[in-house]
């Protein structure tokens, strides 16, 4: 069964450093998403991406964050200068677009645990 994959599974970085989290969405999916879950808190939406541009972003997704689809398979989240409060599980998700459908189910990857020291 197709699945979303993410690398690395765990990333440790020093405060102020740049990190890039990588995702390979399900191959025929057209919508891509990043979410995060800080320990003990809810899963929070960061950004959605469609047709090579951001379609929605939350207040969390400030200028320190960026997303990119550098090739036909990868979808990346970059944090330019990490802060302690960026420590969280980051989940990538993807969904297939049905013409005329109001919504599609999002399928999540296993997550990347980011630890900022």
First to last CA, the chain: 37
Number of residues this chain uses to bind another protein (CB under 8 A): 26
Specify whether the CB–CB gap between 21 and 76 falls below 8 A.
yes
Which region among 11-19, 63-71, 75-83, 90-98 touches another protein (by CB under 8 A)? 90-98
Specify whether the CB–CB gap between 25 and 94 falls below 8 A.
yes
102 binds another protein (CB under 8 A): yes
Smallest gap from Cβ 45 to another protein, in A, equals 4
Instruction: Select the residue interacting with another protein from 18, 56, 68, 85 (CB under 8 A).
Output: 56
């Amino acid at each position: 069964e197709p699945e979303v994959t993410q690398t690395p599974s765990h990333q440790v970085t020093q405060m102020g450093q740049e990190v890039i989290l990588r995702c390979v969405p399900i191959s025929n999916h057209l919508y891509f998403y990043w979410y995060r879950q800080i320990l003990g808190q809810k899963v929070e939406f960061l950004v959605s991406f469609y047709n090579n541009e951001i379609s929605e972003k939350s207040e969390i997704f400030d200028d320190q964050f960026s997303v990119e689809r550098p090739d036909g398979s990868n979808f990346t989240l970059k944090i330019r200068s990490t802060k302690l409060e960026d420590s969280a599980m980051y989940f990538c998700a993807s969904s297939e677009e049905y013409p005329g459908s109001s919504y599609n189910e999002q399928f999540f990857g296993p997550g990347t645990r980011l630890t900022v020291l």
